[in-house]
Amino acid sequence: MAETILLDGPLRWRDIAAIADGAAPVLSGNARARILKARAVVDSLVERGIRGYGINTGVGALCDVVISREHQEALSRNIVLSHACGVGEPLGRAETRAIVAAQVNNFAHGFSGVRAEVVDLLLALLAKDCIPVVPARGSVGYLTHAAAIGQVLIGSGHAVHRGERIAGGEALARIGERPLVLQAKEGLSLVNGTPCATGLASLALAHVERLLDWADAAAAMTYENLGSQAGTFREGPLALRTSPGLHLVGGRLRDYLDGSALLSQSAGSRTQDPLSLRGIPHVHGAARDAFAQACEVVDRELASMTDNPAVAGTPERPEVHSQAHAIGASLALAMDSLAVAAASVAAISERRIDRLVNPLVSRLPAFLADDSGIRSGFMIAQYTAAALVGENRRLAAPASLDGGITSALQEDILTHATPAAGKALAVADNLERILAIELLAAAEAYDCQPSAAARAAGTQALYERVRALVPPYRDDRPMNEDFERVRALLRRPA
């Protein structure tokens, strides 16, 4: 039985991530009442002929073209179909579920004016795991992703149900639903706002949060193999710097390394360790601080109505407001920052991998191979990590500065929030792969230690988790298969 999440007030990013993973949102009575009230306002606007963008006008540069009442349903349908311009491979199940969940959350604020039937059908897609096929590329903001979802609601496009890709109309029939005939404003609302960005951003936060914990774990193992400075992560000296993230990481490292005979044996033999070792709390901590800021931004965005136009007032005194609430500038900046933070953690991990395999600094066998020359060991694993760090460097370029002009100068600034969230997910994927390599290399380094001194209880437990999946490496198999086994471990809590 899937977990249910009651949608009464705004959802938070953790709720969106849970729905992406399979939980089912359920509308509260209050949320449904807000939706019904907003729809009554739209109906009143239509009845009174009050001009509202995308309700009884064209969209984009066509916003001054007035649409007669008898053509407003056609306008809604045409918006969905004409905006379905996405290209490339489709988003995954989790990504699409996250976007749909964020759409429902946006409509439940009660300022969009779609009918309850639209929200109910989106909820049915989630509850029955009928996933619209959403091409991943081609959106500067949100339009093409959301249009692909809207297509399924009207019986067009495609969806995946029980692993099979089928036409949208057939997919609805299989789950006992019928296509909608969209009414005034609904086509625009379905393709509008920041749900695409908030959905993907919520997933990125969930991935990065988990990987930040694993980065501390991998770093502790590497430090125990290589560290030799006395008291590197002591609480008192670290407290001289103000950073919640730094102090959290310092505490985690102390817990992992508590009681390490291996470290005690080498402590004090160097005045200071290299930055990739002694700077772990500072780099990982800074990433955690950036993560915390991004969490605040995404939760604020989910608490905001991001449709355009917004409807308010009452059916007796209806109001329509054409603002720029659909612009996701804050999301774009937050996701650019999150991508840079995750890329920084990946970069320092790769530097630690290099120190583990480099005989010039590790005091361990070259490339962690017990018969170097015949065996290459982890030589090329470090190359792979370096390549992924390079890819992250390119991905970390800010999407929020891309700009651009669309719709005949009507939409003459673009903030690229959805691409920014997509880039953050891609960087997190590379971080996961790099951390898998570090965990494997650190486990191998333990096996190469010349000393029989005991590891800390915390790192011993980590070593055993790795070795339960992957045996020591002897150049006897493709190493990328080992990486994939450890990635499965990284998808569980550290």
The tens digit of pLDDT for each residue in 210-254 reads 999 999 999 999 999 998 888 899 999 999 999 999 999 999 999
Its sign, for the CA torsion 68, 71, 76, 79, is: negative
Tokens of 27: 């509308």
Among candidate residues 53, 142, 223, 256, the one labeled active-site is: 53
Assigned CATH for 4-192: 1.10.275.10
The residues with which 312 forms a beta bridge, in sequence order, are: 319
The residues with which 24 forms a beta bridge, in sequence order, are: 4
pTM: 0.95
**Residue 204 in 3-state DSSP?**
helix
- Please state the rounded mean pLDDT for residues 333-348: 98
Domain span(s) for CATH 1.20.200.10 in the chain: 201-490
Q: Give backbone dihedrals phi and psi of 164, rounded to 5 degrees, phi first.
A: -110, 130
- According to the model, what pLDDT value does residue 123 have? 98
Q: pLDDT category, 407, cuts 50, 70, 90?
A: low
Report whether pLDDT(411) > 70: no
Please state the separation of Cα 79 from the chain's center in Å: 28
Cα separation of 327 and 482, whole Å? 43
pLDDT tens digits for range 131-168: 999 999 877 767 889 999 999 999 999 999 999 999 99
CA-nearest of 479, 369, 366 to 433 is 479
Q: Give backbone dihedrals phi and psi of 144, rounded to 5 degrees, phi first.
A: -70, -40
Domain span(s) for CATH 1.10.275.10 in the chain: 4-192
Tokens of 42: 């739209």
Cα separation of 462 and 19, whole Å? 30
**Residue 66 in 3-state DSSP?**
strand
CA-nearest of 41, 38, 37, 75 to 56 is 75
pLDDT tens digits for range 81-119: 988 889 999 999 999 999 999 999 999 999 999 999 999
Alpha helices in 109-260 (DSSP H): 116-127, 143-153, 168-174, 186-191, 195-226, 235-238, 244-257
Q: Is 53 a catalytic residue?
A: yes
Tokens of 98: 């996250």
* CATH level 3 topology of 201-490: Fumarase C; Chain A, domain 2 (1.20.200)
| Contact indicator for 432, 494 with CB cutoff of 8 Å | no
Its sign, for the CA torsion 242, 248, 249, 251, is: positive
What are the residues whose beta carbons fall under 8 Å from the beta carbon of 484, sequence distance 6 or more? 436
CA-nearest of 334, 341, 297, 11 to 209 is 341
